[in-house]
Amino acid sequence: MSYTRPTFRHPEQQRNDKGYFRRDYEGAISTLCAGCGHDSISTAIVQACFEMAVEPHRVAKLSGIGCSSKTPAYFLGKSHGFNSVHGRMPSIATGANMANRDLLYIGVSGDGDTASIGMGQFAHALRRNLNMNYIVMNNGCYGLTKGQDSATADKGSAGKKGTPNPFESIDLCELAIELGASFVARSFSGDKQQLVPLLKAAISHNGLAFLDVISPCVTFNNTATSTKSYQYVREHSEATGTFDFIPLQREILTRYEPGTTQAITMHDGSLLYLEKLEQSFDVTSRRRSVDKLEEAKENGRLLTGVIYVKPDSQDTHDIINTTLRPLNSLDQSDLCPGSEVLAAINENYR
Amino acid sequence: MKPTKIENPEYFHKVIDCQYACPAHTAVPEYIRLIDNERYEDAYMVNWESNVFPGILGRICDRPCEPACRRGRIDEEPVAICRLKRVAADYKSAIDERMPKIPQEKNGKKIGLIGGGPASLTVARDLMVLGYEVDLYDDQQKAGGFIRTQVPSFRLPEKVLDEEVNRILNFGVNTILGHYVKSLKEIVDKGYDAVFVGTGAPRGRDLPNLPGRELGDKFIHIGIEWLAAVLYRHVEKTGKRVLVLGGGNTAMDCCRTARRLGGDEVKVIVRSPREEMKASPWEIEDAEREDIEIIDNHVPLEFVVENGVLTGMRFDRVEPKYDDNGKRSLVSTGEEPVFIPCDEVLLAVGQQNAYPFIERDIGIEFSDNGLPVIDPVTLQSTLPQVFFGGDAAFGPRNVITAVAHGHEAGLSIHLFCQGQDLHNRPHPMVKMQGQKMGIHDWLYDSHVTEEDRQEVIMVEKVKSIQDRLIEVELGFDHDRGQREAKRCLNCDVQTVFDPATCIECDACVDICPVSCINFTDNADEEPMRAKLIIPAQNRNQALYVSSSLPTGRIMVKDENVCLHCGLCAERCPTSSWEMVKFIYKAPQAGMK
């Protein structure tokens, strides 16, 4: 078995705007099962960070426990990382984000890590609209412990063991909208054409960008009876529309017909163009987004793409009005400015 | 694009760049793997079967394989294929037992070979094995031809040459040596079932019209004749200052030989710019290592002879000019001619074919360029029982091409003697062998090393230029041979894709270190090449295209820089990618 990947890369590979090659965003070789959807998501993260010219040392990867939470080892090998306790990724991310607001936070979690053991943590990170990308690699089963149904397994779906899941499933996207996430999207590990631009939009979003990525477990949950198999997802997914993510300062090359196109200006000035399939759908309306999710479910379809965006969202730092400088850069004189400053403050209240 | 026809043996053959580029189609990765396993005898035999002279070619081959080597496209330098061939030859133990048995009972057919060089010897080998009787004529006392008379011993020791030439002669070839064939008609009239002409391109070009040529004749020599004279010790020393005219490999042999016979100040003068010299880059390097100066863009004007003694030569300085079609002409810079003093001049300005022994009325047609009219596939001349090969066929090429001609001619002669259609040639022998041992185990070592090309060990210059019989290159030692062998990418282990089982999970796309695998909508070749993850700009390299997959997309793999690391197959959950060893043997006489 290969434990290393050859170091040779295509001689014609290009540098990005910051002068990095794509290989500068790669991690160690994956030890997940061959064909695992998670590996494709890792690659999509590599591609998105490369294309966005994110500096690898300005990224922190955070994860919990599970197959999905192993993946930060397989991308962005030159970035910071913290592998936390099961379900506790959001707390770690919150702490890190509070200490240094300047980094890009990529939190990776699974359906078990988020929808079961970490549900409470998940809810509160979303409420606070923490500035991070929260990616759930959702395979509907506990792959690391032999494939038991997880809380996102659809009712009636059956994995390798063959017993249909008797319980209702949690729709993480719907929940995320409910809980106050300001960017909600769903995608599929087998569709990088959709996933990479979604990740790029999430990177430029200010606030919590939640991505539910359906990622088939080839070993335990890629059966004909599973609703999270490659084949099922391909046959049943329905995108809210095709879209184009145009980073700031890039020329807009495509002409967009008014009416069916919705243009959303992101926090950093980038543009998200959504070519909608349905004219009346408005991705900035929470109510319409939840309706749309329910509607698709009724029709037996899986809604993918951008589901909800709040362009002018305020992240935790904005909400609690913290200092603009990262806390970890504040020294003694900043934190204890001395008795004169204290006297001045007190004077204000007299 | 249409799905690639991988059933066509030439598709995967072309992926093995080295083997495809080799005129004799030597199975390069196969023998390098055998060296890696320290199975030197097996490695030697893989070579011997296709190129007949592994020890010789491991030293003096023109190496068309190395510029083709895939490693050269991803790493700084290609695999040292030629020197590894020498490793196989140097480290092998006895191989006599492995040699094919020559039938005691002959098949009743008799073949005449004119010229004892590599082409004729190859024909002899291929036909002796099939029970033919073979007569070999050569004007020299020993067989070998060009590689004996013109390749200096410091590049190819006589011992190595004798071993491989004698191996064939010892199959029972009737040698008629020291016999110059004056008349082809005489040979044809002897009733041979077929005659093969492998007389090389024996005539060195002269510069008869250059002023001073006649006056300075004593000091001016034709390169190839001079090299032969050195071999036979008719020439044992040279003047201190020697000019060699010409930019090919013969020029390099001449200058380095002159350096060993007392030439302290040896210069090579080339008409063209240095980049366009015909000599192999490594031979130019070797010459320069021996303090030989190479002066380019100098066109000879005259030999300067004073009082019957050559004192030097005058040259016109030129610069290359290219017209719209890229055709080059050398235009004088208008500067004063340059005088370069010298004691002797060696002319290595090209070789020509000459067929003074072929009567023009025996049915062999000649074309306007003075070469016989030959079928390019069968090598048959217009006189049906006479075949040509090596430099005698299409003009000067190289040893490995002569060997390839030998195989083709052998095959033609065999078909001819059986009364069969010469154009109905056997197909190459092709085999596919799966390399899978377990989920992640392959029969071949798929690890891609980062090792740089190994430097060859050489004899100290001070010592080697004292004696023209000392071989300069010592070859790789055991360690270097092993390290170099590991650099081979195993391009013969093919990535074979089965669209029927693929679930389009992208695992192969994600793991491929060189991003050569794509799943995309179909398109014509040009737009397809442009839209791949990394555009496929090397048009000499094929795109491997699958039939349509369930999503309507197709798999497209750019073969250009595939490392054959097998990771796509390792990461494939459904074994839709398989690593399959592709064995290709070019047809030879007697092959079914």
Q: Report CB contact under 8 Å: B507, A35.
A: yes
* Sheet with B493-497, side-by-side order of all strands: B429-434, B577-585, B493-497
* Minimum-distance CB partner of A2 among B446, B534, B572: B446
| Residue B554 touches partner A, C-beta closer than 8 Å | no
Q: Hey, which residues 29-48 in chain A have their CB within 8 Å of chain B?
A: 29-30, 33-37, 39-40, 42-43
Q: Tell me if chain A has a CB within 8 Å of the CB of B509.
A: yes
Q: Which residues of A touch B440 (CB under 8 A)?
A: 1-2
Same domain, B213 and B345: yes
Residue numbers of A between 234 and 263 with CB closer than 8 Å to B:
234
Find the residue in B nearest to A38 (Cα).
Answer: B507
Gap between the Cα atoms of B256 and B286, Å rounded? 9
- In this prediction, residue A246 carries a pLDDT of 75
Q: Is the CB of A1 inside 8 Å of chain B's CB atoms? A: yes
Q: Are B208 and B344 in the same domain? A: yes
Cβ–Cβ contact B319 with A under 8 A: no
DSSP of B494-532, one letter per residue? EEEE-TTT-----HHHHH-TT--EEEE----HHHHHHHS
The full DSSP string for A236-266 is HEEESEEEEEE-TT----S---TTTEEEEE-
Q: In what order do the strands lie in the sheet with A237-239?
A: A80-83, A59-63, A104-110, A132-138, A208-214, A183-188, A302-309, A237-239
pLDDT of residue A263: 79
- Structure tokens, A165: 């899941």
Does B404 fall in a domain? Answer: yes
Same domain, B243 and B184: no
Q: Which amino acid is at B331?
A: V
**Between β-strands A271-276 and A241-246, what pairing exists: parallel, antiparallel or unpaired?**
antiparallel
Model confidence over B316-367: pLDDT tens digits? 999 999 989 888 899 999 999 999 999 999 999 999 899 999 999 999 999 9
CATH code of B376's domain: 3.50.50.60
**Residue A31: partners with Cβ closer than 8 Å, 6 or more residues away:** A70
Residues of B208-235 as b/e, b for ≥16 C-beta within 10 angstroms?
eebebbebbeebbbbbbbbbbebbeeeb
Indicate the Cα dihedral angle B184, B187, B191, B194, nearest 10°.
-70
**What is the C-alpha separation between B404 and B422, in angstroms, rounded?**
17
Q: What is the pLDDT of residue B202?
A: 86
The residue in chain B having the minimum alpha-carbon distance to the alpha carbon of residue A34 is B571
What does the H/E/C string look like for B42-63?
Answer: HHHHHHHHHHCCHHHHHHHCCC
pLDDT at residue A257, rounded to an integer:
62
For the whole prediction, is pTM greater than 0.80? Answer: yes
Spacing of C-alpha B535 from chain mean position: 32
**Alpha helical stretches, state H, B395-460:** 399-417
In this structure, the answer to whether residues B181 and B209 fall within a common structural domain is no
8 A C-beta contact, residue B73 and residue B564: no
pLDDT by residue, tens only, chain A of 350 residues: 677 899 999 999 999 999 999 999 999 999 999 999 999 999 999 999 999 999 999 999 999 999 999 999 999 999 999 999 999 999 999 999 999 999 999 999 999 999 999 999 999 999 999 999 999 999 999 999 999 999 999 999 999 999 999 999 999 999 999 999 999 999 999 999 899 999 999 999 999 999 999 999 999 999 999 999 999 999 998 887 777 777 766 666 556 665 667 778 877 778 877 776 676 778 899 999 999 999 989 988 899 999 999 988 999 999 999 999 999 899 999 989 999 999 999 999 98
Q: Rounded distance, CA A90 to CA B205, Å?
A: 83
DSSP state of B455: P
**Could you tell me if B296 and B225 lie in one domain?**
yes
Which pLDDT band, with edges at 50, 70 and 90, does B82 fall under?
Answer: very high
Is residue B560 included in any domain, yes or no?
Answer: no
Q: Does the CB of B471 have a partner CB in chain A at under 8 Å?
A: no
Q: Is residue B229 part of a domain?
A: yes
Q: How many CB atoms lie within 10 A of CB A290?
A: 18
Query: Which tokens sit at A59?
Result: 């990224």
Q: Are residues B357 and B341 in the same domain?
A: no
| Max CA separation in chain A (angstroms) | 74
Kindly list the distances between the CA atom of residue A62 and the CA atoms of A92, A316, B33, B304, in Å, as whole numbers in the listed order.
Answer: 7, 18, 44, 83
Q: What angle do CA B115, B121, B127 make, to 5 degrees?
A: 120
In this structure, are B344 and B358 located in the same domain? no
Of B537, B567, B572, which is closest to A5 when you measure between CB atoms? Answer: B567
Which residue is listed with tokens 């509160």? A124
Its domain, for residue B176, covers: 110-202+353-417
Q: Does B441 touch chain A (CB under 8 A)?
A: yes
> Same domain, yes or no, for B329 and B243?
yes
A34 → closest Cβ in B74, B534, B573 = B573
For residues B261 and B370, state if they share a domain: no
CA distance B496 to B511: 16
| Residue among B456, B454, B461, B509 at smallest CA distance from B486 | B454
Our CA dihedral for B138, B141, B147, B153, rounded to 10 degrees, sits at: -170
pLDDT of residue A259: 60
Contact criterion met (CB below 8 Å) for A141 and A220: yes
Average pLDDT score over chain B: 95
Q: State whether residue A325 sits within 8 Å of chain B by CB.
A: no
Preferred mutation among A1, A2, A234 to probe B, highest tally of B CBs within 10 A: A2
**Is the same domain home to B242 and B258?**
yes
- Structural contact between residues A94 and A125, judged by C-beta atoms closer than 8 angstroms: yes
Q: What is the pLDDT of residues B202-241, one digit of tens each?
A: 899 999 999 999 999 999 999 999 999 999 999 999 999 9
Mutating which of B503, B557, B561, B570 best tests the A interface, going by the most A Cβ atoms within 10 A?
B503
Q: Within an 8 Å CB–CB cutoff, is residue A230 touching chain B?
A: yes
Please identify, among B299, B323, B351, the residue that sits at the C-terminal boundary of a domain. Answer: B351
Same domain membership, residue B344 and residue B217 = yes
Q: Is position B196 within any domain?
A: yes
d(CA B145, CA B374): 22
CB contact under 8 A, A5 and B507: no
Question: CATH number of the domain at A22-320, please?
Answer: 3.40.50.970
CB contact under 8 A, A33 and B75: no
Tens digit of each residue's pLDDT (9 = 90 or more) over A131-168: 999 999 999 999 999 999 999 999 999 999 999 999 99
User: CB distance A34–B572 less than 8 Å?
Assistant: yes
Token look-up 């030197």 returns B40
What torsion do the CA atoms of B126, B132, B137, B143 make, to the nearest 10 degrees? 40
What are the φ and ψ backbone dihedral angles of A319, each rounded to 5 degrees? -65, -45
Residue A211 burial (CB < 10 Å; 0-12/13-18/19+)?
buried
Q: Which residue is closest to B72 within chain A, CA to CA?
A: A11
A337-A342-A348 Cα angle (round to 5): 135
Please state, in angstroms and as integers, the Cα–Cα distance from residue B354 to each residue in A19, B201, B366, B384, following that order: 61, 7, 12, 21
| pLDDT per position as a tens digit, B7-37 | 999 999 999 999 999 999 999 999 999 999 9
For residue B167, is it within any domain? yes
Cβ–Cβ below 8 Å for B561 and A190: no
B441 contact residues in A (CB cutoff 8 A): 1
CB-based contact, A71 to chain B, within 8 Å: no
**Based on C-alpha coordinates, what's the Rg of chain B?**
26
Residues of A with CB below 8 A from B509's CB?
40, 43
B567 touches chain A (CB under 8 A): yes
The reply to whether B396 falls in a domain is yes
B534 near A CB under 8 A = yes
Q: What residues in B contact A231, CB-CB < 8 Å?
A: 503, 550
Q: Is residue B243 part of a domain?
A: yes
C-alpha A46 chain-centroid distance: 13
Q: Name the closest residue on chain A to residue B564, using Cα atoms.
A: A6
Is residue B165 domain-shared with residue B213, that is, in the same domain?
Answer: no
For residues B389 and B409, is the Cβ–Cβ distance under 8 A?
yes
| Whether the Cβ atoms of residue B136 and residue B143 lie closer than 8 Å to each other | yes
Question: What torsion, rounded to 10 degrees, do the Cα atoms B434, B439, B443, B449 define?
Answer: 120
The answer to whether residue A8 neighbours chain B at the CB level (below 8 Å) is: yes
Chain A residues with CB-CB distance to B567 below 8 A = 2, 5-6
pLDDT, tens digit, 9 for 90 and up, residues B142-187: 999 999 999 999 999 999 999 999 999 999 999 999 999 999 999 9
Task: Say if CB A94 and CB A62 are below 8 A apart.
Answer: no
B77 — contact with chain A (CB < 8 Å)?
no
C-alpha to C-alpha distance for A246 and A266, rounded to whole angstroms: 10
Cα–Cα distance, B342 to B336 (Å, whole number)? 19
Residue B59 belongs to some domain of the structure: no
Nearest chain A residue (CA) to B516: A10
Count of structural domains within chain B: 2
A90 touches chain B (CB under 8 A): no
A73 φ, ψ (degrees, to nearest 5) = -70, -20
Put simply, whether A6 touches B (Cβ < 8 Å) is yes
Q: What is the pLDDT of residue B213?
A: 95
